[in-house]
Structure 1
Amino acid sequence: MLRPGLVLVSTLLVCVACARGGHRMDVEQNIDALMQAYQGDVPGASVLVVRDGKALVRKSYGLADLEQRHPATPATNYRLASVTKQFTAAAILLLIEDGRLGLDDRLRQWLPSLPMSNDAITIRHLLTHTSGLIDYEEVMPADQVTQLRDRDVLHLQEGQDRLYFAPGSHYRYSNGGYSLLALIVERISGLSFQQFLHERIFAPLGMSQTLAYVPEGPAIAHRAYGYSWIGNTWQRTDQSSTSAVLGDGGIYSSIDDLARWDAALYDDRLLSDTSRAAAFTASTTTDDADVAYGYGWRITGESLWHSGETIGFRNVIVRYPMRRLSVIVLSNRDEPEPYRIALAIARLFP
């Protein structure tokens, strides 16, 4: 049996060739071909293509829950993984607009229990992955069974009296940096991170089914469960020991709610022009010479994008602001990574 990722890559190449070769397949048929591996009794996906606020494509494939055979729908909520980071960055920018925080504030001003090795790290360094913080995944116990929370990430960092490099001198993607940003939001606002997101972002934008998930909080409506391809079959792998860390990847959302988020990024209904410009401006280069990083966003040519990868989920949002076009693909499976699929879909909408 071929691995599902290999099947999808072959389908993608054939579909793009068809789209460019003059075959009279309509756009929806092209997208269905690209999403072939997600169709049937397998972990699924939801796809949104939106231009000028209008949904051009809004479709789902496969199953959100294999055991209960619940189909994926546009209302299905997937764990966003690192797509969460743009929301964490937005929360920080809102506090800056409130005058309660500064980009050049020192990290230890807000989290003073951190060691002196962290003294030069600023909020800006955390947002842009240039802090040099030690990855918490590398120092957590190898036999960790209970789920870590953001506070546990802080405790792990408290024991690391070293950095990978001087803050601001290099780029290294840091989940821990965004976890600490969530704790700073809590420290300044007096609210839990999930409450702040709900009150300041989700509720104002009408994202009624989106939440940062904690077991003691509200249940996830229309929940997709994550799966991995193991031993020639799909097995549920919905949670890991790091799945409860919120700031770097704990939000659940749907393509319907993300359409509202995308719309808010074109005007000042949530963030000011200044804040949005800062988030979308290249602040640092990354490990890929073609990709820069802003605040919670990767920047590649004309596109703003971010992927999200965690056990059982693979997601991506790709925005083309000058074209007023966005493509979102959310999936509840370990493979394939959907970035290339989103780019292929975008090419169908010149």
Structure 2
Amino acid sequence: MKALFAALALLAGCTGATSSVRTHPAPDVSTVDTLFAAYASPEAPGASVVVLHEGKAVLSRAYGLAELPERTPATTATHYRLASLSKQFTAMAILRLAEEGRLRYDDRVADVLPGFPAHASEVRIRHLLNHTSGIWDYEAFVPDTQTVQVKDRDVLELVSRAERTYFPPGTAVRYSNSGYAVLALIVERVSGMPFARFLHERVFTPAGMRSTVAHEEGVSTVPQRAYGYVADANGFRPRDQSSTSAVLGDGGIYSSVEELVAWDRALDTHALIGEATQRLAWTAPALPDGTSGRYGFGWFIDDDGGRPRLSHHGETSGFTNAIVKYPEQRLTVIVLTNRAGGEPWRLAQRVADLWLGSPGAIPWPFETFPNAR
């Protein structure tokens, strides 16, 4: 893993240049279409995919429907709920505040955020970012019968119902949606503005993402919105929202593959944060036992046969998504779908393999990461 971190450190400063490591020629579009045949039905929820190579969108495709009753086709401008792909944006909000000196990664959360549970008094902001906090999952305290949606502000009360952390902070890893909801509250506390507004003004707009939104029902509107579905014995039925769908910090952003092209470019050109900060975000922590934590700030991190690989999946009510990024090859693949189930991370990897010319490692890190979903 040391070699991986060194490679990422080098790449953080040179992604604006053409990579010296070449990928294979672009495959025929029909090859990609074949991979997405299960999403291409004119009667079923669909998918949108984009491939970026050396800063350019070299393939953009869409399949199936964004909304079934009106038979609205999915396009590359269709906005899907990103689910946990949202975490990289929440992390970016923290990174921007840290660069401005308004917070430090090793600040105790309890010193920044009033109401943070006493049993987690040693949790630092850094621990929330890389899933080493050990705080309990707020979903564990939300009954299946609940109809009122949970908001980020409710998460503090929910995690306060626990009596301890899963482990001493910083000693192990466990994927935590609670951690990223708390990070959203920290952004609000430190910046003095609502989290959704901070993302719009300080992350989306400077990145060139004009229509991406941290969606709040009754407050904001999702343009060209895809609605979520789940398959049953009778076909597909709506499943667009759950009791936790309104939590923004861990998964409440809507965006399109077209918008995410701008996001990827902003990362590669350091439009939002500097080289050193980007390097930190793409470095996994070393745990006390000497192993890697495998998660930076909003990204899973691993070494795919000597190639540094960044990735994330996203699963929520009616949506399943994936992103894989090879900084050294300057290759990114993003797959967004509006149906529960499926394995778009495997599709994303297979598409990436077409450009890489060799199979990437499976499983992805999240598939063996404690509690990741």
Instruction: Specify the code of the residue in structure 1 equivalent to 2:351.
Output: I
Shift of 1:232: 3.8
Which structure 2 residues correspond to residues 1-350 of structure 1 after superposition, within 5 A? 26-40=27-41, 41-283=43-285, 292-301=294-303, 302-350=308-356
Label 1:125 to 1:290 Cα distance change in 2 as closer, same or farther (>3 A): closer
C-alpha separation between the residues in 2 aligned to 1:85 and 1:56?
A: 26
Instruction: Specify the code of the residue in structure 2 equivalent to 1:325.
Output: L
Whether the aligned pair in 2 keeps the contact of 1:150 and 1:179 (CA below 8 Å) is yes
Whether the aligned pair in 2 keeps the contact of 1:106 and 1:123 (CA below 8 Å) is yes
C-alpha separation between the residues in 2 aligned to 1:219 and 1:332?
A: 18
Q: Which residue in 1 is equivalent to 2:368?
A: none
C-alpha separation between the residues in 2 aligned to 1:69 and 1:284?
A: 49
Whether the aligned pair in 2 keeps the contact of 1:290 and 1:300 (CA below 8 Å) is no
Shift of 1:218: 1.9
Label 1:290 to 1:237 Cα distance change in 2 as closer, same or farther (>3 A): farther
Shift of 1:26: 4.9
C-alpha separation between the residues in 1 aligned to 2:209 and 2:350?
A: 27
Shift of 1:284: 5.0
Whether the aligned pair in 1 keeps the contact of 2:302 and 2:310 (CA below 8 Å) is yes
Whether the aligned pair in 1 keeps the contact of 2:27 and 2:355 (CA below 8 Å) is no
Identity of aligned residues (%): 51
Shift of 1:297: 0.2
- 3-state SS of the aligned residue for 2:332? strand
- 3-state SS of the aligned residue for 1:349? helix
Q: Which residue in 1 is equivalent to 2:11?
A: none
Q: C-alpha offsets along residues 215-235 of structure 1, whole Å, 9 cap, x if unaligned?
A: 132210000000001224111
Whether the aligned pair in 2 keeps the contact of 1:78 and 1:225 (CA below 8 Å) is yes
Instruction: Specify the code of the residue in structure 2 equivalent to 1:88.
Output: T
Instruction: Specify the code of the residue in structure 1 equivalent to 2:236.
Output: W
Shift of 1:206: 1.6
C-alpha separation between the residues in 2 aligned to 1:157 and 1:209?
A: 33
C-alpha separation between the residues in 2 aligned to 1:226 and 1:291?
A: 32
For structure 1, the 5+ residue unaligned runs are: 1-24
C-alpha separation between the residues in 2 aligned to 1:56 and 1:109?
A: 47
Whether the aligned pair in 2 keeps the contact of 1:45 and 1:329 (CA below 8 Å) is yes
C-alpha separation between the residues in 1 aligned to 2:128 and 2:286?
A: 12
Instruction: Specify the code of the residue in structure 1 equivalent to 2:63.
Output: Y
Whether the aligned pair in 2 keeps the contact of 1:225 and 1:312 (CA below 8 Å) is yes
Give the alignment's TM-score, normalised by structure 1. Answer: 0.90
Between stretches 291-300 and 192-201, larger displacement belongs to 291-300
Shift of 1:209: 1.0
C-alpha separation between the residues in 2 aligned to 1:284 and 1:127?
A: 14
Instruction: Specify the code of the residue in structure 2 equivalent to 1:36.
Output: A
Q: Which residue in 1 is equivalent to 2:365?
A: none
Whether the aligned pair in 2 keeps the contact of 1:88 and 1:296 (CA below 8 Å) is yes
Instruction: Specify the code of the residue in structure 2 equivalent to 1:323.
Output: Q
Label 1:42 to 1:181 Cα distance change in 2 as closer, same or farther (>3 A): same
Label 1:177 to 1:26 Cα distance change in 2 as closer, same or farther (>3 A): closer
Q: Which residue in 1 is equivalent to 2:360?
A: none
Whether the aligned pair in 1 keeps the contact of 2:136 and 2:165 (CA below 8 Å) is yes
Question: How many aligned positions are there?
Answer: 323
Shift of 1:65: 0.1
